[in-house]
């Protein structure tokens, strides 16, 4: 039961940090999931997060996998609800207010200001993530190859990630 309320608290809290996407919350997720609660080790968290990138729909549904590994199907359900419902209600409310906020001069300031902040938080998250994901030249080469292919071509990212898995099976055992 402790684990369940822990999952609910941790993931509802983390959800409010996802300005611009899930990566912004990754450093805090690592410190809670790996550090405070010892639910997973760093490598496991990086792996679960990466599998989330292959998922259709919202890639942060990886929280359900964390929940499952901690407390089975109930854990998965609680983690997903905690992560998606509270911010969902906030979004719903702001969506309804948005038209009325049109004349509020700070609306544009918030939008303009949070753009670069979201990018900065994502890069910071990615650096934390990369430290857990990049070990040695082969992983570095895979990351660069995928970066290049994504920027230069229109190939489906899920295929690139599957190719990463293939390289892993051959070269990273």
Partner 1 sequence: MKKPSHFELFQTFLTIGAISFGGGVVAYLRDALVRRKQWIDDKEFLELTSISNTLPGLNATNMAILAGDRLGGVVGSVAAMLGMCLPAFVFMTAAGVVYGSHVDRPLVDAALRGVAAAATGLIAATWFQIGKKSLKGFYDAFFVLAAVLLVNHFKLSVPIVLLIVGALAIYTYRPKRQEEPPHATEEQWIKSLG
User: Interface residues for partner 1 in 34-63 (CB under 8 A)?
Assistant: 43, 46-63
> How far apart are the C-alpha atoms of 111 and 94, rounded to whole Å?
13
Do the Cβ atoms of 4 and 78 come closer than 8 Å? yes
Report the 10 Å Cβ neighbour count for 147: 11
Q: What is the largest CA-CA distance in the chain?
A: 59
Determine, following the binding rule CB under 8 A, whether residue 7 of this chain makes contact with partner 1: no
9 binds partner 1 (CB under 8 A): no
Classify burial at 27, counting beta carbons within 10 Å of its beta carbon; exposed 0-12, middle 13-18, buried 19 or more. Answer: middle
Check residue 115 for interaction with partner 1 (CB under 8 A). yes
Residues 135-154 contacting partner 1, CB under 8 A: 135, 138-140, 142-148, 150-151
Residue 88 interacting with partner 1 (CB under 8 A):
yes
121 lies in the binding site for partner 1 (CB under 8 A): yes
Q: Contact between 74 and partner 1 (CB under 8 A)?
A: no
Are the beta carbons of 11 and 63 closer than 8 angstroms? yes
> Applying CB under 8 A, what is the total number of residues that bind partner 1?
109
> By CB under 8 A, is residue 100 in contact with partner 1?
no
Q: Does 5 bind partner 1 (CB under 8 A)?
A: no
CB of 167 to partner 1, least distance (A): 5
Q: Rounded to the nearest whole angstrom, what is the least distance from the CB of residue 1 to partner 1 in the complex?
A: 20
C-alpha 162/C-alpha 48 separation (Å) is: 14
Nearer to partner 1, 38 or 112 (CB): 112
User: Could you tell me the CA-to-CA distances from 171 to 26, 48, 134 in Å, in that order?
Assistant: 27, 20, 14
């Amino acid at each position: 039961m402790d684990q369940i309320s822990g999952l609910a608290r941790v993931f509802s809290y983390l959800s409010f940090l996802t300005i611009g996407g899930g990566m912004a919350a990754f450093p805090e997720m690592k410190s809670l999931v790996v550090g405070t609660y010892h639910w997973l080790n760093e490598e496991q968290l990086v792996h679960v997060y990466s599998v989330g990138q292959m998922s259709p729909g919202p890639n942060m549904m990886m929280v359900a996998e964390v929940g499952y590994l901690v407390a089975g199907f109930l854990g998965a359900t609680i983690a997903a609800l905690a992560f998606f419902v509270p911010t969902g209600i906030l979004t719903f409310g702001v969506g309804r207010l948005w038209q009325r906020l049109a004349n509020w001069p700070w609306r544009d300031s918030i939008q303009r200001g949070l753009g670069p902040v979201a990018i900065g938080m994502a890069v910071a998250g990615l650096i934390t993530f990369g430290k857990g994901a990049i070990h040695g030249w082969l992983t570095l080469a895979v990351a660069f190859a995928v970066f290049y292919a994504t920027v230069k071509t229109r190939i489906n990212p899920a295929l690139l990630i599957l190719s990463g898995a293939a390289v892993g099976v051959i070269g990273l055992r």
